Amino acid sequence: MLYVVIAYLWGAILLYLLLGGADFGAGIIELFTTRKNKDRTRKTMYRAIGPIWEANHMWLIIAIVILFVGFPAIYTTMSVYLHIPLTIMLLGIIARGTAFAFRHYDAVVDDMQVIYNRIFMYASCITPLFLGIIAGSAVSGSIDVEATNFADAYIFSWLHWFSVAVGLFTVSICGFLAAVYLIGETDNETDRKRFIAKTKSTNIAAVLSGALVFIAAKVQGIPLTSWIFGNWVGTVAIAGATLSLILLWYLLYRGKTRVLRLLAGFQVTMILLTTTFRHYPKIVLLKGNRYLSLVEDKGHDATISSLGWALLLGSLFILPALFYLIYSFQKKKSNVEAAHN
């Protein structure tokens, strides 16, 4: 049952990156959209993220619950030594969700809409930035559980070049996912070409920030290259992601966008696979060649068993409801488009 729990943890993280990442990316795209096109971008965004914009955080909650219940030592270490970036990320999620709700459903349209818009856009950047910083810190070996002062324990555990580079890469990936997803939500050729251009620019930003991650890893002495290319799984995954990237650009050039979402999702999946496979079951690398493992630092066997069954049974209720939610919104959108035509 332990491996069922681990599979759910990995799947929850992946789905949060794919769905929640695109959700954050919608705000990033809006931030870097010209003023004259912002209203059209918002309308397109509402259609795209409306069905799941709040349900996306379900995957984050599942991951947190799995760590809290099944791996208390890992949860405690991360929540203590990374409590500053975790707090900023959670505040960003709250601020972003609140701003989205008020600017979309507020009955009074006044100057507060400007504030709501700014909070939504800036929080959409800050949240994935610190999500990436947390992820980078967890594998950088910078968390010092034996630190004797505040700065070493709670600041320099996450504030370094590698984690910031991973944060910027995460922001770029979120923007890329959103741009790809939004292409299929457009209702005219002008917007479609605009989001294709956004897809290209955010993809270039993701490649450049990805290179920055490798540079930062080299500077800090983190063997990232050997982690990724030192095993056949990482090599195959990177090769697959590269080939899919070439195919994506070819399809963009030819104007064929039907399978772009699948390609973008595949690329993110391969990136997550390469960064987690090499040191599995180690999930947090600590300073001094110490680590926390999903196998060695798991909770009691009875707890893991109960958690596994809860996840399996919960899926029978949650997943059909989520699929029906998405289906309902897609059907509603199709009916609206048919009425306009």
Q: List C-alpha distances in Å: 122 to 15, 106, 126, 335.
A: 23, 20, 6, 34
pLDDT in tens, 247-294: 999 988 887 777 888 899 999 999 999 988 888 899 999 998 899 999
Q: What is the pLDDT of residue 185?
A: 75
Give the dihedral sign, CA 335/17/274/67: negative
- Decide if 144 is inside a domain: yes
Helix (H, G, I), strand (E, B) or coil at 165: helix
Q: How many domains does the chain have?
A: 1
- Decide if 320 is inside a domain: no
Q: List C-alpha distances in Å: 201 to 21, 189, 213.
A: 17, 19, 18
Segments forming the whole domain that contains residue 35:
2-315
Q: What is the pLDDT of residue 87?
A: 96
- Decide if 140 is inside a domain: yes
- Decide if 220 is inside a domain: yes
Tell me if 140 sits within 8 A of 222, measured CB to CB. yes
Q: What is the pLDDT of residue 332?
A: 56
Q: What is the pLDDT of residue 331?
A: 61
247 — phi, psi (to 5°)? -65, -40
Residue at 238: amino acid letter: I
Task: Tokens 């039907």: give the residue.
Answer: 258
Digitized pLDDT (tens) for each residue of the chain, 341 residues in all? 999 999 999 999 999 998 888 889 988 998 888 888 888 887 777 766 665 666 778 889 999 999 999 999 999 999 999 999 999 999 999 998 888 888 777 666 677 888 888 999 999 999 999 999 999 999 999 999 999 999 999 999 999 999 999 999 999 999 999 888 888 777 788 888 888 889 999 999 999 999 999 999 999 999 999 888 888 888 999 999 999 999 999 988 887 777 888 899 999 999 999 988 888 899 999 998 899 999 999 999 999 999 999 999 998 988 887 777 767 766 655 554 544 44
pLDDT in tens, 77-114: 999 999 999 999 999 999 988 888 887 776 666 778 88
DSSP letters, 187-198, are SSHHHHHHHHHH
Q: What is the pLDDT of residue 212?
A: 97
Number of neighbouring beta carbons within 10 Å of residue 77: 18
How far is 278 from 292, CA to CA, in rounded Å? 14
Q: What is the pLDDT of residue 93?
A: 92
Q: What is the pLDDT of residue 49?
A: 65
- Decide if 328 is inside a domain: no
Number of neighbouring beta carbons within 10 Å of residue 300: 10
CA 121 from chain center: how many Å?
A: 16
- Decide if 130 is inside a domain: yes
- Decide if 321 is inside a domain: no
Q: What is the pLDDT of residue 330?
A: 63
- Decide if 290 is inside a domain: yes
Q: What is the pLDDT of residue 279?
A: 86
Q: What is the pLDDT of residue 69?
A: 95
How far is 240 from 234, CA to CA, in rounded Å? 10
How far is 295 from 336, CA to CA, in rounded Å? 51
323 CB-side CA count, 13 A: 6
Nearest CA among 129, 198, 222 for reference residue 169: 129
